[in-house]
Amino acid sequence: MIEKLKKYDRAIIGVIVGAILPIIGFFISYPIKGWDYTFNAYLDIAFSEYNRIDVFILSMIPNMLVFYLTNFRWNLNEFTKGLVAVTILLVLMICIITII
């Protein structure tokens, strides 16, 4: 299986996956965190209220899972570089949004 995954060991693929997974994580976090809100109210919480950091952290969990698999299990180093680069940029954006 690892030999089949080696063809995906490119940084650009890690960047693409790292950018898509938080979006998927956001939609997955809605039933977990925002079950008593409408989706529009959940979006308002994510971008306006004080507890928005919880929403963003839950959205980053898929990136953490993929990082574990690609770095420690499958040794896809180039993929992991792209994934980490996007994750760092997203975390910086979350910090800036939280401060504002």
DSSP string for 22-66: HHHHHHHHHHHH-TTS-HHHHHHHHHHSTTHHHHHHHHHHHHHHH
Residue 98 predicted with pLDDT over 90 = no
Per domain, the residue ranges of the chain are 2-99
Element containing residue 83 per DSSP (H, E): helix 77-99
pLDDT tens per residue, range 16-64: 999 999 999 999 988 888 778 888 988 888 877 666 788 888 899 999 9
CA angle 20, 23, 28 (to 5 degrees): 125
Query: What pTM was estimated for this model as a whole?
Result: 0.89
